[in-house]
Chains A and B, each alone.
Chain A
């Protein structure tokens, strides 16, 4: 077994738990509670209200957002004060609901001290849990767990959800199921928050499944069209495949950790090496299957592009905040399990890094051939989720979560931008029907370009910082360090950076440059659509600075601003988190990665510019080297057919099992079942004859006759009593009562 101790650990001191708490941390359960209440209120009273229930949803999500912001600020203040040496309250003075949760099981710890930095200390998670139900000796709890990770997610989910709510009032305005739409938005948010705040694995599973149900309902919002309801079913069923992995993995963890569902307890045991390594390996592999289905990792990603059938704001919500990041969040939540199980530290490749690497490249390649702008974004999400999983797989925990954070803003911005385009262009998402929209829709254009730049990782937008941190975290580039040397994931990541810039350049050219090719009369949308876009574009611009590297912060002259996100989110010096070594930022890597991405974007741009000069209305070359070369055509077809994965699933796996299974069932029916039935029939017939002759005629008839005779004889005797005279009845009754009394006295 590989040691969980980092190779780069320097000092070896055990930190005391730092306990801080306040009302916000204690009552954070109100946030999912508010959203769940909003769901019920909209469902019951929504239709009677002037705005059809949207006002309830928006009020609830605004309150939740304010709560999340307040909590994020408190958390930041608390974390900074602890960083500056405040030890918080003494652990003994604070009553913690969960006795296992805090550092009592502390194993020897090696908190990490980077060069020139003292060992960092973070606040212990604030756990609030109460019993849900008891079965035997096992108690199932439900509650809230507040730490950097959940505070961050709480902010992201409520923020994106609020903007999506506002955007939706215009986008789905006048829809016939408007009220239900808002009800499910509320439930979706509530479920995700419930999952994010879970204290134990069971609660996590419940939240996970609730999220799946809500996505099913919202993807199939316009279920009258078969394609939409098929997409909803596909999303749900593909997720079920991974859910088996989730259940098996969580059960393995339950038994591996000595019968506990508690996340912090499981994590502490995994860090301390108290759980068998093989069990952790099995659990991590099973959980990776769950991540593959929920977070759209190759090869279970096929549902994600189809999920574009839902209303666009829902796609934004699913892709940015509530659904697909659940898998990434789960990995981060149970990070010590994966850390040990997959031996992330000090190796060159592991399942998670490989899965993420393959997903980001394959998903990025698919984005090149889509003509539907939403599908490009969908494959882009697949690719970026691969990036996050890759980051976590190479041990760059903060980089993975930071990418989740920044990705939420620019992907929501892009999706809502796509919604704005479609709203203006007569409800089409086909890029062949767009073009030249930069002058007609300047606000959408500006925000979309900012989102694309952030996604492509251009300096200084949000994606640049997170992408760069992930590439550095792979530990391949000279001078970056990290937890291992992950060559293959690194090159996958670099390739993806180029592809991301390439396909976003293609989208921007096709949608905004050239001339308008459609038949509608596009127009800029109203404030309820453009204001959320501008807010998101603003966030996509600045969010990256939250975790800028230290040298850059020093360069800007802002003291202590470097790696702020890491300080707020990543636990350090605690018993439930492994000692991770951090990669150092590399200026040369950042420059090379930017150049690669810029070159890819420039190549794509030149390709379409030349096409435009040849034919202003064309969207693809019809006669050229690219169009005529057989190899390229074959590759193109393969991408259009999505690597034939859907064929594999529907024809080979489902069809392949269906045919032989039917034949086998027929043979079984004819030979085994029919044979059995025939034999059974014949033996039943002979048995019947035997029974008739001896048992029926002899025994049963005899018994029946005898009982008949007996009944008639006793009837003759007893009819004498039935005189009709009341007094004789009374006499009998008293006699019997006296007799019973006598028996009673004798016996008792």
Chain B
């Protein structure tokens, strides 16, 4: 098994995810990009786990999937609230965190 291929795939997915987070204005798409990042990490974990013949990599991946589900739940709720207040989900307009 070539570990490199999996790592490469994960790196590409990660880069796409980061690009999406930084450039997309649509809040939902930002969340989806974050999912891409998380899943690239999952691929890394499962790949290394299999490479080392160790099941704990898969276990961690399962944990991350569970945490990601929770994170998306919270994220979508926030996006929904932003939409209710502003009638828009453009994240570049949301600048109320300004100190």
Contact = CB atoms under 8 A, between A and B. Distances in A.
Our verdict on whether A and B bind, yes or no, reads: yes
Contacts of A730: 21-22
Interface stretch (B47-55, B57-65, B66-74, B87-95): B87-95
B79 to A, nearest CB: 12
A725 B95 contact: yes
B22 A725 contact: no
Contacts of B92: 725, 727
B99 A724 contact: yes
A734 B18 contact: yes
Interface residues on A, range: 10 to 19
A731 B22 contact: yes
Interface of B: 18, 21-22, 91-92, 94-99
A726 interface: yes
A722 interface: yes
Contacts of A726: 91, 94-95, 97
Interface in A707-744: 719, 722-727, 729-731, 734
A734 B15 CA distance: 11
A719 B94 CA distance: 18
A723 B94 CA distance: 11
Nearest to B27: A726
A724 B97 contact: yes
B91 A724 contact: no
B33 to A, nearest CB: 10
Contacts of B95: 723-726
A734 B20 CA distance: 12
28 contacts: A719-B99, A722-B98, A722-B99, A723-B95, A723-B98, A724-B95, A724-B96, A724-B97, A724-B98, A724-B99, A725-B92, A725-B94, A725-B95, A726-B91, A726-B94, A726-B95, A726-B97, A727-B21, A727-B22, A727-B91, A727-B92, A729-B97, A730-B21, A730-B22, A731-B22, A734-B18, A734-B21, A734-B22
A640 to B, nearest CB: 88
Contacts of A719: 99
Interface string A93-115: 00000000000000000000000
Contacts of B96: 724
A367 B40 CA distance: 99
A730 B92 CA distance: 12
Contacts of A727: 21-22, 91-92
A691 B98 CA distance: 44
A-B pairs with the 8 shortest C-beta distances? Answer: A724-B98, A724-B95, A724-B97, A722-B99, A725-B95, A726-B91, A730-B21, A731-B22
A281 to B, nearest CB: 71
A383 to B, nearest CB: 81
Nearest to B95: A724
Contacts of B21: 727, 730, 734
A88 to B, nearest CB: 64
Contacts of B22: 727, 730-731, 734
Contacts of B98: 722-724
Nearest to B97: A724
Contacts of B99: 719, 722, 724
Nearest to B23: A727
Nearest to A726: B91
Contacts of B94: 725-726
A719 to B, nearest CB: 8
B37 to A, nearest CB: 10
B21 to A, nearest CB: 6
Nearest to A725: B95
A722 B96 CA distance: 11
A734 B34 CA distance: 12
Contacts of A723: 95, 98
B30 to A, nearest CB: 8
Nearest to B99: A722
Contacts of A722: 98-99
A138 B98 CA distance: 67
A527 B92 CA distance: 101
Nearest to B22: A731
A719 B98 CA distance: 10
A726 B75 CA distance: 13
A724 B21 CA distance: 16
B77 to A, nearest CB: 16
